[in-house]
Structure 1
Amino acid sequence: MTIDKSQVRNAATVIVLRDRLTAPRILMGQRGAKAVFMPNKFVFPGGAVDAGDADIPLANPLPETCHSRLAEDADATLAHAIAVAAVRELWEETGLILGTPGAWDHTPPPDWETFAATGHLPDASALQFTFRALTPPGRPRRFDARFFLVDADDIATDLDDFDAACDELSHLQWVPLDKARSFDMPFITEVVLAEVEARADDRSPPASVPYFKNNDEESLFLRLRGTPMPE
């Protein structure tokens, strides 16, 4: 058996859901044709966790249920960095801010200078952990990706202003949820999309979080429930 030796990187992806109770739409963009990972595909904004993400303070942390589920079958200390990466990647790739008005009490690192200049602190309280997927072996890039659902009402800035976005995603747009499957997207994005469709009108945390665990030995479909909350 050939062993895939590519490094698995932790990653965070954000699914922003707009007008969820009337005409739900999700924010998607297209990866470049020369991208090593999923070229030309329409995806949700997201990317790998950076080493410095663990050191960025949050104005408000993840909800306890989400934190507990992120810690299941994983290094529990990663939960904070993954949440920070979700906020950062959303900002970098779309120019949208998940944050609270406030001034930083220290000089922000380079990755956060433009975010801090808007007068916001990163805030993870609106993120809802919804899906986890480990890229199968043999791919040019492998990610242990955590998908977060967030209501567009919790975005602090203009939902139609993408001027601050980097050029990693093109054709950023609000896609009607019932039309999204007509776009060219990766298989795992379609799977996550089904989960979002099932929860479009429900803001409460899911009963459990699906986890596609594709390791070197086998592919498993698990459910992450975390530590039960005390009654």
Structure 2
Amino acid sequence: MVLIRAARKGEPEILIGRRPARMGFLPGIHVVPGGRVDPEDSLPSGFASAPHPQIAAALGRQPAAFLHAALRETFEETGLLVGRPAAPESETTGDSELWRAYRVAGLAPDLGGFDYLCRAITPVTSRRRFNTRFFLADGAGAVGELAGNGELEDLAWCPAARLSDLRLVDVTEYVLETALRRWRDRIPIGSEPPKLLNYRNNIMKLSQPRQTGPMRAAQ
């Protein structure tokens, strides 16, 4: 999940954190919130919210599950809920910790506000293989106290001008560059198809995905 909001002077800032040094994969690297799609993410939230039609088509099977996972992982890793004020008469049936937190905060998820940035698959030589979808959402809709479960350290809203000071892998650099361009240019959601990032001879390649793969991380 890439969250971008305007700072006081209008310049963009991105929510980002650093993976702890103890991590076996990419220790000390700065990343955006994200993680695995869990079984509960495929269940209805109870809120009247659906993905943008073109985003749903690009994601294929169970598109809401990817977006639910992005919201849940962001809540777990940062303490923030991303959404919009819920209607006074809004009633939900979702009973997970995430949807209960939304109800308590008087919020509702806005799945239609997600743009799909890209899908990335790690190299075959990687110690761990990931098939990840990256999404962009409005950071102005993030509510709560910045904290989290410890999976990300030094959590902060980082000014875009300072991203070059962070330790980023090539995929994250591409994702943030694409997200910032869409944010600055006010690109409508769904108007740019997501690219597929994979590797040939350890060199990152971009292409247009032909189909979705097994559900994995929604970052």
| Fold in common (TM above 0.5) | yes
1:31 aligns with 2:14: no
1:144 aligns with 2:137: no
What code does the residue aligned with 2:161 have? D
Unmatched segments (≥5 aa) in structure 2: 212-219
1:207 to 168, 172, 192: 192
How many corresponding residue pairs? 203
1:197 to 180, 198, 208: 180
The alpha-carbon distance between structure 1 residues 38 and 96, as it changes in their structure 2 partners (threshold 3 A), is: same
1:46 to 34, 50, 56: 34
- Counterpart Cα distance in 2 of 1:123 and 1:111: 14
1:125 to 103, 112, 123: 112
Relative to the length of structure 2, the TM-score reads 0.80
Relative to the length of structure 1, the TM-score reads 0.76
What code does the residue aligned with 2:82 have? L
Q: CA deviation at 1:107?
A: 6.0
Deviations 1:172-211 (A, max 9, x none): 1111112202201122111212212322313313422111
Unmatched segments (≥5 aa) in structure 1: 1-13, 227-231
**Paired residue for 1:70?**
59
SS, match of residue 148 in structure 1? strand
Cα-Cα RMSD = 2.8
SS, match of residue 113 in structure 2? coil
The alpha-carbon distance between structure 1 residues 185 and 40, as it changes in their structure 2 partners (threshold 3 A), is: same
- Counterpart Cα distance in 2 of 1:130 and 1:122: 19
**Paired residue for 2:146?**
162
**Paired residue for 1:7?**
none
**Paired residue for 1:188?**
171
Summarize the alignment of residues 95-110 of structure 1 with structure 2, pairs less than 5 Å apart: 95-100=79-84, 101=86, 105-106=92-93, 108-110=95-97
1:90 to 74, 81, 99: 74
Aligned 8 A contact 1:69 1:225 in 2: no
